[in-house]
Structure 1
Amino acid sequence: MRTPRSRLLFAAGLATVLALSGCAAPSTSDNTGTNASVNVGLILEPTDLNIRKTSGVALDQVLLDNVYEGLVRREADGSVVDSLAKSHEISADGLTYTFTLNDGVKFHSGAELKASDVVWSLNQVVTDASIKDHATLAAIRSVSSPDPKTVVIELANPDSNLLWNLGGRAGQILEEKATNDLATSANGTGPFELKAGAWKQGDSLKLERNDNYYGTKAKVREVVFSYIPDPTAAINATLTGDLDVQTGVDASLSPQLERDKDVTLTKGRTTDKYTLVFNPKVPALADPKVREALRLGIDHKAIIDSIGGAGVPQGGPIPALDPGYQDLTGLVPFDPEKAKALLAEAGQSDLTLTLTVANHYPTVISNVLTSQFKNIGVTLKVNRVEFPTWLNDVYTNHDFDLSLVNHAESRDFANWTDPTYYFGYNNPHVQELYKESVAATDPKVADAKLAEAAKIVAQDNPADWLFTGTALTAIRKGVTGFPTDSTTSRLYLGNLAVSE
């Protein structure tokens, strides 16, 4: 979107930013209103487009709710609203969910959505353990369609998370008869389409308005996501007008944007859990004294300050936006002297550990951790890798000492109840409390069980939750409706607009 405006320009070869006054020449083409093309800067690019099999929130950001849809949709504030379903009912015993489908829904292929597509899509997830988030639908006993506009889900036992899970990967509805390659293309029902050739790997991905959408049509013609992992390059692209929206703004560089009158910098809430995981398969880290010592040696305020203050302390596995949150920041306070004593008790006088971290994360975090661990007598070596390498080595093969990653997904506490997950954490009491939370039909009971389980996890010290991230988003004047909360996990663009 190019509009007349005052702007900051970068002079070639100069390190300083020159503020120029006056207005740019008016655009010669109409790029506002429903004809607008909006350029959005993202950090992390998906490795492929297969929402059934490929992990990572980079896919969720661009495809969920925009290209693919579920019976329901997650909102940025954590609520769940109807999407492909125009309404739903839940039986008093919490075992039967009845969804009434919207009229006139078509896949991007042109085929009409049928209740049988919903039944097939959900049953595919339920029966195939290799599908992403398969376990989140484990309570489903059957999915049926008594008539062409109704879908009925029967549960074996109550699941307080069912609607939320249906709004995630597991609940996305695909066309049963489609033959497209999910790794390179997408055929959904959403307000935007991903057409052939729209993904230029290593560069950008373009979504175009679906003019046959059954609901309210998208307010812009297209959205182009540009993948810019370098924070300085992203700032430059925003200041020169190449980006209309920049997500994941580096807080240490944000003052440059604050000087541009045509850019608004927003601060949003997230469930971004910057998690430092201790691999229990490593002999030293199997010792609870060593794990506690490492946590005691971390000054969380210093880490948050190092990233420009774009975070808040977390203290445990559940962030403030999620059910079951409680303030656990006081459980393991910064105490380097106690950390040294515990390491001595554990017989670790010369401990060396390697931190594996994807190279799109700021180096300052690992630098601060290296310094803080050195203060308690631990040598930390940093192995910065490409994200696909992290997925292979850490996530898949569990080959690491320490790992740092942002777990941006909301309500993902279940990972701490799965011993096969790369965390490697196994506590039967936590697993039982989580089951009781899921089975509860009273939200207050569900929250209480979650909170109890989360405290146990925090006391076991299988990881350190460095901070919950704050989403900094730069938005150019004239752009409205872009989400500012939870931007690393979901970007619903149905409300995105450009003023005329």
Structure 2
Amino acid sequence: MPSIPTRRTARFAAVGLLAAGALVLSACTGGTAEPTPTATGAPDPDASLTVGLVLEPTNLDIRHTSGAALEQILVDNIYEGLVTRTQDNEITERLASSYEISPDGLTYTFTLNEGITFHDGAALTSADVVASYQTVKSDASVQGNAQFAGVTAITAPDPATVVITLAQPDQNFLFTLTGPAGLVFKKDDGTDLKTAENGTGPYVLNRWTKGNSITFDRFDEYWGETATLGEVVFQYIPDFTAGVNAALDGTLDVLTAVDPNLVSQLEDDGGFLITTGRTTDKATLAFNNAKAPLDDVKVREALRLAIDHEALVEAVGAGQTLYGPIPELDPGYQDLSDLAPYDPAKAQQLLEEAGHENLDLTLTIPSFYGTTVAQVLISDFAKVGVSLEVDRVEFATWLEDVYTNHDYELSFVLHVEPRDFGNWANPDYYFGYDNAEVQRLYAESQTEIDPERSAELLAEAARLVSEDHAADWLYNGETLTALVPGVDGFPEDSINSRIDLTGVTKTAD
């Protein structure tokens, strides 16, 4: 089962779409981004930091509920895995002090750090890791179950060592462990994960005021470096103008998902620092490849050629053009702009050849995304004889109708997860795209031990997907974050998928 995500409006909402399943992951280039310093005084070790976010989780059970809304706040703060990933998607140790991969790519051996305890005070041992991963392997309702299909054994030779054996090499397996599938839970724990937690991270859950906020407190018995904030309040404000107003009236210290059109208010009126971060957010205009008239490649190509991508990015106000399914932060990226240049005349010609000189289509879009993208598409499509009706729906409706039932023609969401190219190799995914060669190349890329060769295979597959015009990738999103003076170390990149609070400080008022 796959997994979707999303993000903001006009700079758009960081949202994890999904209620269903898996996640295919990514590695990356470059070093960890250095957050822009804003603090001038001494950090307050007991400071309270209030962060404005867009999408509130429906529950806190990250084991059984997918979506960026949970990963964004829980991973690395409440729950931890053997490994984690940096802002630029490089893999690094977390609960494990070290790991080794056998030359044949089949055996992963992890050594645990010493002194790790759960929030209830129980010591973590390799038995907890084995039990957690055995559950992922055996329970189809648990996040990451599909990614553990190739796991043949999970053992604990001693209390500090975990050995995982695979049936065949899996280029993405270690990255899988940086997500929900790799999180470690206490063996035989009776905690109700929907409303409570018992992790190993530097913060504990204080309270959840549904419809309003989630509050974390510092866990003073944390096994690693103690958190540098006393309290963090995640304030959920789904309206972007309301979020800016909350920042300006002093309610928020940090506002994520800033609408580019409102940046000047924060800079000029509030003195906020605005940071721009990289993401793996793919603003995807999905075509239902299994439903007429989108089952005709000429129609799909025509729609792509009709879109002025440069103008759309300018209208959105943040991001960069993206003409294929792999963003720059993921392995396999290449510039595919040659496959969909802005050419409305050719778009009209293709539609005529397909017998659709006048075409009526419906775009189904979650209502929190605002109007910018839809307005641009309506205008661009009208120029080539395509009338676009926009159906704005609640996110739950989108999940049911589009994601689950595949009942749509065109749809728009931001897919935020890194390394999710596997969705294009899955004919049962809501895209309805089925290409045997793409599936073969993707499968080969995952069993390829050499990461460079694996990336080459992904690039080859991605070009085929774009040549088939299986969708249109409107842009690769950037994330705009506003910080009050005195906040330092807040992450800039990839914060739609997680906000690691490690090292974030706030000066005394």
Q: TM-score, normalised by structure 1?
A: 0.91
CA distance in structure 2 between the aligned counterparts of 1:95 and 1:115, rounded to whole angstroms: 20
Within the alignment, does 1:475 sit opposite 2:486 as a pair? no
Contact 1:279–1:423 (CA under 8 A) maintained in structure 2: yes
Contact 1:106–1:113 (CA under 8 A) maintained in structure 2: yes
Give 1:24-43 correspondences, 5 Å limit: 33-43=44-54
2:248 equivalent among 239, 247, 252: 239
DSSP-derived class of the 1:380 partner: strand
- Which residue matches 1:337? 345
1:283, CA displacement in angstroms?
1.4
CA distance in structure 2 between the aligned counterparts of 1:409 and 1:286, rounded to whole angstroms: 26
1:322, CA displacement in angstroms?
0.6
Within the alignment, does 1:300 sit opposite 2:305 as a pair? no
CA distance in structure 1 between the aligned counterparts of 2:263 and 2:162, rounded to whole angstroms: 48
CA distance in structure 2 between the aligned counterparts of 1:394 and 1:294, rounded to whole angstroms: 20
1:32, CA displacement in angstroms?
5.7
- Which residue matches 2:429? 421
1:129, CA displacement in angstroms?
2.5
1:112, CA displacement in angstroms?
1.8
Contact 2:96–2:110 (CA under 8 A) maintained in structure 1: yes
- Matched letter for residue 181 of structure 2: A
1:438 equivalent among 446, 454, 457: 446
1:422, CA displacement in angstroms?
1.5
Contact 1:47–1:388 (CA under 8 A) maintained in structure 2: no
User: What does the per-residue CA deviation read over 1:31-58, in whole Å, with 9 as the maximum and x for residues that have no partner?
Assistant: 9611111000111112222212222211
1:260, CA displacement in angstroms?
4.4
CA distance in structure 1 between the aligned counterparts of 2:130 and 2:340, rounded to whole angstroms: 47
Q: Which entry has the higher C-alpha Rg, 1 or 2?
A: 1
Contact 1:44–1:360 (CA under 8 A) maintained in structure 2: no
1:493 equivalent among 489, 497, 501: 501
Give 1:71-470 correspondences, 5 Å limit: 71-195=82-206, 198-260=207-269, 262-308=271-317, 310-470=318-478
CA distance in structure 1 between the aligned counterparts of 2:197 and 2:345, rounded to whole angstroms: 54
- Which residue matches 1:11? none
User: What does the per-residue CA deviation read over 1:160-202, in whole Å, with 9 as the maximum and x for residues that have no partner?
Assistant: 212111001111111121112222222211111113xx12222
DSSP-derived class of the 1:143 partner: strand
1:128, CA displacement in angstroms?
2.2
Contact 2:202–2:222 (CA under 8 A) maintained in structure 1: yes
User: What does the per-residue CA deviation read over 1:291-320, in whole Å, with 9 as the maximum and x for residues that have no partner?
Assistant: 111111111112111112x01011000000
Contact 2:286–2:410 (CA under 8 A) maintained in structure 1: yes
1:432, CA displacement in angstroms?
1.2
Contact 1:280–1:424 (CA under 8 A) maintained in structure 2: yes
DSSP-derived class of the 1:272 partner: strand
CA distance in structure 1 between the aligned counterparts of 2:348 and 2:83, rounded to whole angstroms: 50
- Matched letter for residue 81 of structure 2: G
**Which consecutive residues of structure 2, in runs of 5 or more, have no partner in the other structure?**
1-41
1:466, CA displacement in angstroms?
0.3
CA distance in structure 2 between the aligned counterparts of 1:457 and 1:371, rounded to whole angstroms: 26
- Matched letter for residue 320 of structure 1: E
1:261, CA displacement in angstroms?
6.5
CA distance in structure 2 between the aligned counterparts of 1:428 and 1:169, rounded to whole angstroms: 29
- Matched letter for residue 462 of structure 1: A
- Which residue matches 1:5? none
Contact 2:47–2:507 (CA under 8 A) maintained in structure 1: no
- Which residue matches 1:12? none
CA distance in structure 2 between the aligned counterparts of 1:282 and 1:190, rounded to whole angstroms: 46
Task: Kindly tell me the number of residue pairs found equivalent between the two proteins.
Answer: 468
**Which consecutive residues of structure 1, in runs of 5 or more, have no partner in the other structure?**
1-30
- Which residue matches 2:65? 54
Contact 2:248–2:270 (CA under 8 A) maintained in structure 1: no
- Which residue matches 1:13? none
1:362, CA displacement in angstroms?
2.5
CA distance in structure 2 between the aligned counterparts of 1:36 and 1:331, rounded to whole angstroms: 51
Q: Note the aligned Cα RMSD (angstroms).
A: 1.5
CA distance in structure 2 between the aligned counterparts of 1:323 and 1:453, rounded to whole angstroms: 12
- Which residue matches 2:8? none
DSSP-derived class of the 2:364 partner: strand
CA distance in structure 1 between the aligned counterparts of 2:180 and 2:407, rounded to whole angstroms: 26
- Matched letter for residue 259 of structure 1: D
1:133, CA displacement in angstroms?
2.8
- Which residue matches 1:26? none
- Matched letter for residue 236 of structure 2: Y
- Matched letter for residue 56 of structure 1: G
DSSP-derived class of the 2:280 partner: coil
DSSP-derived class of the 1:311 partner: coil
- Matched letter for residue 392 of structure 1: E
User: What does the per-residue CA deviation read over 1:77-106, in whole Å, with 9 as the maximum and x for residues that have no partner?
Assistant: 111110011111111211111101111211
Of 183-192 and 321-330, more deviation after overlay is shown by 183-192
CA distance in structure 1 between the aligned counterparts of 2:193 and 2:359, rounded to whole angstroms: 45
DSSP-derived class of the 1:259 partner: helix
- Which residue matches 2:37? none
- Matched letter for residue 345 of structure 2: E
Question: Which aligned segments of 4 or more residues in structure 1 are displaced greater than 6 angstroms?
Answer: none
**Percent of counterpart pairs with the same letter?**
53
Contact 1:43–1:360 (CA under 8 A) maintained in structure 2: no
User: What does the per-residue CA deviation read over 1:358-380, in whole Å, with 9 as the maximum and x for residues that have no partner?
Assistant: 11112111111111111111111
DSSP-derived class of the 1:270 partner: strand
